[in-house]
Amino acid sequence: MKILLYNFVQPDEPGQPGGGVTVYLRNLCSTLIASGHEVILLSAGDRYTLFRRSVYLKIQPGNPIRAIIFNSPVLAPSQSSFYHPSIYCSSSGLDAIPGDLKKEIGSIDVFHFHNIEGLTASFFRAVRKTYPQARLVISAHNYNLVCPQVNLWRANKETCENYNEGASCVTCLPTNDRRSKEVLIKRLQTPIKRWAHYSDGAFAQKIYALVRSIFMMYRNTVLKNNANRIKDGGGDLEAAKAASYMMYRNANVALSSDVFDKILAVSERTKWVLAHNGIPPHKIVVSYIGTRHFERSLTSKKNQGFNGFLHIAYLGYMRTDKGFYFFLDSLEQMPEQLAKCISVTIAAKFDDEDATLLRLNVLANKFHGFFIHNGYTQESLDSILADVHVGIVPVLWEDNLPQVSIELVCRGIPVLTSDRGGAREIASNKLFVFKSGSTESFISKLSAIVDGKIHLSDFWAQPMRIYSMEHHLAELMSHYAPIKDDESREQPVSSAMHLRPNLYV
């Protein structure tokens, strides 16, 4: 089969932008090729040129074939375009791209989108028109179909339960519109990225790494901390903005109904959240992703208990939505008697070093052991986790399926998770789930483990939902199968707002 995979960046971009989806696509691409399929890697929203401003497609032959859209009207990642949902809904700037793909590449059997960042609503309809027999599938690694800043995390402080027909979106981001600034940065960055990509020299890679670090510093400080964002007090302007966000969601609900053949949710919770926010439930199928760590899960020694002191670990990001600061709050509020029975490891890239490190240094004297790492790599992970008994995944947002939870379980380490998102589904064990955002619930679970009321061996009571890339690919092939004559793409969009969640706790 000829299969197109879309992400807003190419999987081997210098600096590895795109997070876990980029890693997953690298693995999926190599597995597809090894299975005899021809792969096209399409990207958009990340490449912009200094002198040529029109949209165009560039093809790099091979297997995989690389297809890069330059100068997309929609910037990626999504927060760069957050204040411009109308561009996504109304722009026809990418409508010619599917035709260009057909001229350059010919027939394509499957279009598998892994986000919609960098694309337009009209583009998807143009794909359907140009390739009427192709299978169009989208994987929901996040909630971009219903949320233009992808994670349904309102104002960086709470889960978005109701977008109020777009009104809640108007003041959701704590930053000003940064689209024009980021376009300029991308125009400067693109030629350097191209030079670094095609150069084998270490010097080129170092130069690109320096440029990217400057870009990220600017993005994470000047733009992130811009406190002059205008908040409209009401009136026609605010109503118009709200309407544009409602139009964005409605456009994607319509695409899900009559353009996409299937929406693949990476967890049961993801499926429920999408349906709860209007995506047609009959189009959503749960498809847990495969992992290259699967073989590790077959041979790793499963933690069954501990002697003396419980060693817990938090891995990932120092972010509110990931539950990092909730975790720190909980450690600070933990009773001294319990804390002296616990060792803590934190491996997270330092963001606000001064404030956070001060808190961590104070906490260090409270626990039996306290170990801090400024981030981690795949190479350092085994060393960091060598003596860890339990991983902590305290997410506050509906994190679709945190990759860190898979990495921990594959290494034989049980995970204690919040009841938000899909991490709890790996073991489906209520004993190892606490109420999201509740320090009392979290401490109670840890206390029960330390006191022996909950045994680590209980975590392994049921088979883990961990799958190999080969198993995952076999499942994907069923979703890639040609549409049947009696299978309609256009079915009524049912109201999903009254569905009850499939809760585990």
Instruction: Say whether domain 2-170+232-286 belongs to CATH 3.40.50.11930.
Output: yes
Q: What does the pLDDT look like over 344-394, one tens digit per residue?
A: 999 998 766 678 888 898 999 999 999 999 888 878 889 999 999 999 999
Residues 6+ apart with CB under 8 A from 434: 416, 417, 418, 419, 441, 442, 444, 445
pLDDT at 502: 37
Q: What does the pLDDT look like over 129-183, one tens digit per residue?
A: 999 999 999 999 999 999 999 999 999 889 999 999 999 999 998 778 888 888 8
Q: Is the peptide bond before 77 cis (omega within 30 degrees of 0)?
A: yes
Split at pLDDT 50, 70, 90, the class of 499 is very low
Asked whether the beta carbons of 4 and 28 are under 8 A apart, the reply is no
**Domain positions in the chain:** 2-170+232-286, 175-228, 299-461
Domain 299-461 -> CATH class? alpha beta
Please determine whether the domains at 2-170+232-286 and 299-461 fall in the same fold group of CATH.
yes
Q: For residue 289, give the nearest of 24, 6, 5, 504 by alpha carbon.
A: 24
- In angstroms, the Cα distances linking 242 to 84, 171, 236, 458 are 11, 10, 10, 48
Split at pLDDT 50, 70, 90, the class of 334 is very high
- Mean pLDDT (the chain) is 87
What global pTM score does this model have? 0.88
Tokens, residue 154: 């309102």
For CA atoms 495, 245, 115, 505, the dihedral sign is negative
Q: Give the side-chain half-sphere CA count within 13 A for 84.
A: 22
Q: What is the 3-state secondary structure (H, E, C) of 384-446?
A: HCCCCCEEEECCCCCCCCCHHHHHHHHCCCCEEEECCCCHHHCCCCHHHEECCCCHHHHHHHH
- 3-state secondary structure at position 158: strand
Residues 6+ apart with CB under 8 A from 8: 18, 43, 44, 45, 46, 76, 77, 115, 117, 118
Q: Is the pLDDT of residue 105 over 90?
A: yes
Split at pLDDT 50, 70, 90, the class of 100 is very high
For residues 465-481, average pLDDT: 93
For residues 417-421, average pLDDT: 96
d(CA 444, CA 450): 10
Q: Is the pLDDT of residue 219 over 80?
A: no
d(CA 7, CA 18): 8
For residues 199-223, average pLDDT: 61
19: left (phi over 0), alpha (psi -120 to 50) or beta: left
Split at pLDDT 50, 70, 90, the class of 399 is very high
Residues 6+ apart with CB under 8 A from 264: 137, 138, 139, 140, 284, 285, 286, 287, 479
